[in-house]
Structure 1
Amino acid sequence: MKTIKAFAVSLLLCALTIVGLHLYSGRGFSAEGKAGTWVSDAKSQSGSTLKKMAADENAVLIFGSSELRHGQGSGFHGDTIFDGADMDPIYVGKAGYQSLTHAITLGAVGSQAANKKAVLIVSPQWFKENGVKSTAFEAAFSEEEYIALLENPDISQETKDYINGRLQNIMADNETMSEKVKKAREWYQPKDDNTAEQLGWLEQKKADFHKVLLEEKNNYKVMAEALMDGISNHRSKESGAKLSQATWEQLRKEAETEGHKLSDGNDYGMFDSVYKGTYQTLIANGKHKNPKYTLDSMEFSDLECFLSICREEGIEPLVVILPFNGYWYDYTELMAEERSTFYEKIRCIAEDYGVQCADLSGNEYTEYYFEDNSHPALKGLVDLNEAIYEFYRKDKTE
């Protein structure tokens, strides 16, 4: 009898825990406070979480890669600058996230974006022959968001066909991922009654259940990672303050002061600690010469796909062009003239789509601009965040 009671109590506690987790995770996160600038796979891959955050009229979806994490807690990162400001940034991505992943995410959540603005931070290091590496793409891939993209009536069949073709190519050597994508298209891509059979009743129920299960699982992941990282699940402020020009000028002065302490001991425009810890030995051994970037990179087509989705969703994008670290890339023998061709092609694509650019490419040799061979820091982060904020404030009258 005691055993039965103990089992019943355990079962009840388990049920209450599951219900509690469901209710807690279902509340979602506000874009206000630290959740917005929190860099997390779980958040980036949970379409339902991002939709709730993007419903904030002051929120801006900011898509990027490893630069979103670098500089956290430095005073120049968005986690500090935008804390208490009138703009609520939503960081999407981390290392390995590039245009194609972001295109899928935007196609999944863009219709819920109240502010109808999005930022794509473009790193010149993305433009290798095949674009995003298959392993990086697969790690960043969200089945939940891909399904939402397929179901989104705003996204053209041409755009979906492009994405499906890229997935087929990238996942060619991964049978498990290929099967997931194939099943998703079979279950969730809208069908023409005249040319394709509709799902049977049982198959439709399986598809519906699978989608709900994915969303719940991703919500739990967000909750678990947030708890581990100390990210709260509530609004942290009622109103935000505008950032003035004086704010940015003061930040640049502080970046200059900090740069003297951190970056005056090497000739490669990076932090001394990073130079001594990694790059000094590489340079002494003549490593990392002749990087394989190409103007024929598939990344350019993926960038166009992202901008096509912006157009189809009625979202105004800002393309931020990050600079190469000129000192480092001179060492690698990717010279300034060749580097400039990548910037120019990005600018031309943006112009073709009528899209605004925040072009930071003129800062390849700017003092105190980089943490390492590529990631912006200090003045670089100030410029990046100011460009994003000015884009947010554009057309606002108050």
Structure 2
Amino acid sequence: MLKRLWLIFGPILVAVVMILAVILLSPISHKKHDLFEEKRAAVASSAIVFKNAGLKNQALSDPNHRFVPFFGSSEWQRFDEMHPSVLAAAYHRDYTPFLLGMKGTESLTQYFGMQQIKPQLKNKQAVFVVSPQWFVKEGQMPQAFEHYYAGDQAYEFLMTQTGSKAEQYAAKRFLAMMPESPMTKMMKKVAKSEKLSTLDRNELKFLKHLSQREDNIFDGLQIKDNYSKKVLPKTQKLPQKYDIDVLSQKASALGKAHTKNNPYGILDKFYTKRVAGQLAELKESQKDYDYLKSPEYGDFQLVLDEFAKENTSVMFVIPPVNQKWQNYTGLSQEMYEKTVAKIKYQLTSQGFNRIADLSECGGNPYFMQDTIHLGWNGWLAFDQAVAPFLTQKQTQPSYEINNHFLSQTWANQTDIYR
């Protein structure tokens, strides 16, 4: 019976395997640039795009259109008329934000994602939103890291490792997130500053090739069309000429129109779905929150180390929290201010001096869309800081990386930073 089945289905199986082998092992052909598809990918804000090296490389290397990586997390999905992608499209800026981040994409996730686009970061510009809320005691959640992880992030990291302290730290953090990964053995070598063998490197080259083929095959699938549905329609609602006074009036009007059912300045839909049903339970719920001690500080240092290696000129944006909501939930203002000071010290002491600190603006009218995310006037303030950075000539920064910021001592330091 088995022999008969093999005679019937064996040739078909062999043919399928051979076809797959040809597809996966054949030379990789570079696709032509398609600006519309690249713009769709830039605002898709999805795990598929975040993990797909081909999609990111395609846009960020387009010689005829300038895409700039905007690193962050869930704020990118808060589309309104003042969202940076909408403003860039409406006013025909010479750059288009390529949004990299969703809920759970914190520093470690961003660092490994950056491994896929290092040539596109070299001597270029970037924007990085760093939220104090990332710096919790537990740090990056393994489930979130794994959700946004793609194999070639590790392949690229391993193939270019040099034995640095940052790479050792990154390998240890990777092992903490994914201890059962197929890359565990090689990551352990890097964590111990051991060199990879020739066999290891040949395996990585093969795996990288397979990953690139997979990216090319599936890169057009399941990309949300936020560009046509959420960006372009909103550009039509803005004044034809960029006028900050007119835009501020419109932003305030939009904020007022969409925050009518609560006293906290929170988007009506968000308040109804996420807050109203548990309002009593949330009172004073954040009084014990502490962002001063966290492994996130070491993970954030990895990002800074990568930017320094690629000589990337970066604007960092520190968003605020909703002041009215902060008062209701009891989040410590002193702790929050110290967290911001700690983040800024880690940046400025190493030469990362371009910082848009919006942390004190959480009480401004219609600055926030919900409890922690920018909206309306907040996005306008973001744009007022970021657009000049990207459109006006900038001096090249000089970085001095300090590995002390990878230490447990720094992660737990809570005193004043000078």
> What secondary structure, in the 3-state scheme, does the structure 1 residue paired with 2:247 have?
helix
**Residue 332 of structure 2: aligned partner:** 335
Amino acid corresponding to residue 205 of structure 2 in structure 1: D
1:76 aligns with 2:82: yes
**Residue 276 of structure 1: aligned partner:** 272
Give the alignment partner of residue 299 of structure 1, picking from 274, 296, 300: 296
Tell me how far apart the structure 2 counterparts of residues 283 and 59 of structure 1 sit (CA, whole Å). Answer: 41
Amino acid corresponding to residue 170 of structure 1 in structure 2: M
1:180 aligns with 2:151: no
**Residue 322 of structure 1: aligned partner:** 319
Deviates more, 1:81-90 or 1:112-121: 112-121
Cα deviation, 1:342-383, whole Å, max 9, x if unaligned, reads 111111111112111011112111111222211111111222
**Residue 159 of structure 1: aligned partner:** 166
* Offset, 1:335: 2.5
Tell me how far apart the structure 1 counterparts of residues 33 and 264 of structure 2 sit (CA, whole Å). Answer: 43
Tell me how far apart the structure 1 counterparts of residues 153 and 184 of structure 2 sit (CA, whole Å). Answer: 12
- Check 1:248–1:33 CA distance in 2 against 1; reply closer, same or farther (3 A cut): farther
* Offset, 1:115: 5.8
1:217 aligns with 2:214: yes
Give the alignment partner of residue 141 of structure 1, picking from 149, 157, 167: 149
Tell me how far apart the structure 2 counterparts of residues 354 and 347 of structure 1 sit (CA, whole Å). Answer: 11
Tell me how far apart the structure 1 counterparts of residues 393 and 104 of structure 2 sit (CA, whole Å). Answer: 33
Q: What 5-or-longer segments of structure 2 have no aligned partner?
A: 1-7, 233-238, 396-418
**Residue 350 of structure 2: aligned partner:** 353
- Check 1:117–1:392 CA distance in 2 against 1; reply closer, same or farther (3 A cut): same
Tell me how far apart the structure 2 counterparts of residues 46 and 167 of structure 1 sit (CA, whole Å). Answer: 19
**Residue 127 of structure 1: aligned partner:** 135
> What secondary structure, in the 3-state scheme, does the structure 2 residue paired with 1:319 have?
strand
Contact kept in structure 2, 1:54 and 1:114, CA below 8 Å: no
How many residues align? The count is: 365
Give the alignment partner of residue 372 of structure 1, picking from 349, 365, 370: 370
**Residue 33 of structure 1: aligned partner:** 39
**Residue 199 of structure 1: aligned partner:** 198
**Residue 55 of structure 2: aligned partner:** 49
Tell me how far apart the structure 1 counterparts of residues 240 and 344 of structure 2 sit (CA, whole Å). Answer: 28
Amino acid corresponding to residue 70 of structure 1 in structure 2: R
* Offset, 1:271: 1.5
**Residue 240 of structure 1: aligned partner:** none
Q: What 5-or-longer segments of structure 1 have no aligned partner?
A: 237-242
**Residue 239 of structure 1: aligned partner:** none
* Offset, 1:388: 2.3
**Residue 380 of structure 2: aligned partner:** 382
**Residue 247 of structure 2: aligned partner:** 251
Tell me how far apart the structure 1 counterparts of residues 250 and 393 of structure 2 sit (CA, whole Å). Answer: 29
> What secondary structure, in the 3-state scheme, does the structure 2 residue paired with 1:390 have?
helix
* Offset, 1:286: 4.2
Contact kept in structure 2, 1:32 and 1:88, CA below 8 Å: no
Tell me how far apart the structure 2 counterparts of residues 289 and 36 of structure 1 sit (CA, whole Å). Answer: 34
Tell me how far apart the structure 2 counterparts of residues 353 and 213 of structure 1 sit (CA, whole Å). Answer: 38
Q: What is the TM-score normalised by the length of structure 2?
A: 0.76
Amino acid corresponding to residue 45 of structure 2 in structure 1: V
- Check 1:66–1:137 CA distance in 2 against 1; reply closer, same or farther (3 A cut): same
Contact kept in structure 1, 2:290 and 2:335, CA below 8 Å: no
Amino acid corresponding to residue 147 of structure 1 in structure 2: Y
* Offset, 1:128: 0.3
* Offset, 1:219: 3.4
- Check 1:29–1:66 CA distance in 2 against 1; reply closer, same or farther (3 A cut): farther
- Check 1:132–1:197 CA distance in 2 against 1; reply closer, same or farther (3 A cut): closer
* Offset, 1:389: 1.7
Calculate the aligned-residue CA RMSD, in Å. 3.6
> What secondary structure, in the 3-state scheme, does the structure 1 residue paired with 2:293 have?
coil
* Offset, 1:210: 1.7
- Check 1:214–1:126 CA distance in 2 against 1; reply closer, same or farther (3 A cut): same
Contact kept in structure 2, 1:129 and 1:298, CA below 8 Å: yes
* Offset, 1:244: 11
Amino acid corresponding to residue 44 of structure 2 in structure 1: W
> What secondary structure, in the 3-state scheme, does the structure 1 residue paired with 2:221 have?
helix
Tell me how far apart the structure 2 counterparts of residues 77 and 56 of structure 1 sit (CA, whole Å). Answer: 23
* Offset, 1:323: 0.5
Q: What is the TM-score normalised by the length of structure 1?
A: 0.79
Tell me how far apart the structure 2 counterparts of residues 36 and 286 of structure 1 sit (CA, whole Å). Answer: 35
Amino acid corresponding to residue 367 of structure 1 in structure 2: P
Cα deviation, 1:61-101, whole Å, max 9, x if unaligned, reads 11111111112xx3222332112321121111211101111
Tell me how far apart the structure 1 counterparts of residues 120 and 256 of structure 2 sit (CA, whole Å). Answer: 44
* Offset, 1:282: 2.0
Tell me how far apart the structure 2 counterparts of residues 91 and 156 of structure 1 sit (CA, whole Å). Answer: 31
* Offset, 1:250: 2.9
1:262 aligns with 2:248: no
- Check 1:225–1:247 CA distance in 2 against 1; reply closer, same or farther (3 A cut): farther
- Check 1:322–1:389 CA distance in 2 against 1; reply closer, same or farther (3 A cut): same
